Chains A and B, each alone.
Chain A
Amino acid sequence: MDFNWLIVLVGEVLVAVGVLCDVIAAIGLLRFPNFYVRLHAATVGTIGGAFVPLIGASLIAIGCEFLGGYRWFMAGSALITAILILILAPAGSHALARAAYRSRAAIVQPKIVDHLEEDRVEDRGE
């Protein structure tokens, strides 16, 4: 009984942290000036806003006895989704950022320095 309460409370704290990260990431995605800065906010939204609450939902599902015997199925499914998102979200963001840089689809508006562009120009010149 006490163990169920403990697990449910820990899971609720994780879900609350995830919701907070979610709202912060949404506001950041709306307010930041260009694509490469928005990438940072989207990373907060995917890892902090999807991975953490999925672990929390898995813990809540273990602790809730009113769900019946299928709660183990729910917990395992949520855990697998969390691990998949932990692998897939950074890979997708990286592929998108690489494609956006190489095809010049996203223009950096307040641009101070771009070392990658200098290196690529040097490689082409030599």
Chain B
Amino acid sequence: MSIEAHVTTFILVMFPIYILAFILYAIRALKGPTIPDTVLAIDAMTYDLAAFLVVLAIFFRSPVLTPVAIVLALWVYALDIYVAKYLEAKEMGG
């Protein structure tokens, strides 16, 4: 068995498990009782999505797809900081 066939089979096995994890994260993000729960679920889902995108770039054999993960990780951090700043500014009264 060559390296190429081995890696392809491995990623094909990992594919449905990742999708299952994303569906569970999305259920928590959709029904989260409070605001921080939803933001936390979106955060965890998107960081894992960034990891999955790099694995998929190996699977599709196209290295151009890789830099998307950097952009995704950085902008979701920005969303996190926006919401935290909004929640905290309401307490300070500003």
Which residues from chain A sit less than 8 Å from chain B, CB to CB? 4-5, 8, 12, 15-16, 18-19, 22-23, 25-27, 29-30, 35, 38-39, 42, 45-46, 49-50, 53-54, 57-58, 60-61, 63-68, 70-71, 73-74, 77-78, 80-81, 84-85, 88-89, 91-93, 95-100, 102-107
Q: Is the CB of A103 within 8 A of B58?
A: no
Which residue on chain B has the smallest CB distance to residue A73? B63
Given A4-B3, A64-B58, is A45 in contact with B48 using a C-beta cutoff of 8 Å?
yes
Which residues from chain B sit less than 8 Å from chain A, CB to CB? 3-4, 6-7, 10, 14, 17-18, 20-22, 24-25, 27-28, 34-37, 39-41, 43-44, 47-48, 50-52, 54-55, 57-58, 61, 63, 66-67, 69-70, 73-74, 76-77, 80-81, 83-85, 87-88, 90-91
B residues within 8 A CB of A22?
17-18, 21, 48
User: Which residue of A88, A93, A98, A107 has the most chain B CB atoms within 10 A of its CB atom?
Assistant: A88
Q: List 28 A-B contacts (CB under 8 A).
A: A8-B6, A12-B10, A15-B55, A23-B21, A26-B20, A29-B28, A30-B28, A45-B44, A45-B47, A45-B48, A49-B48, A53-B55, A60-B7, A63-B3, A64-B3, A64-B4, A70-B63, A74-B54, A77-B67, A81-B70, A81-B73, A92-B84, A99-B87, A103-B90, A105-B36, A105-B87, A106-B34, A107-B34
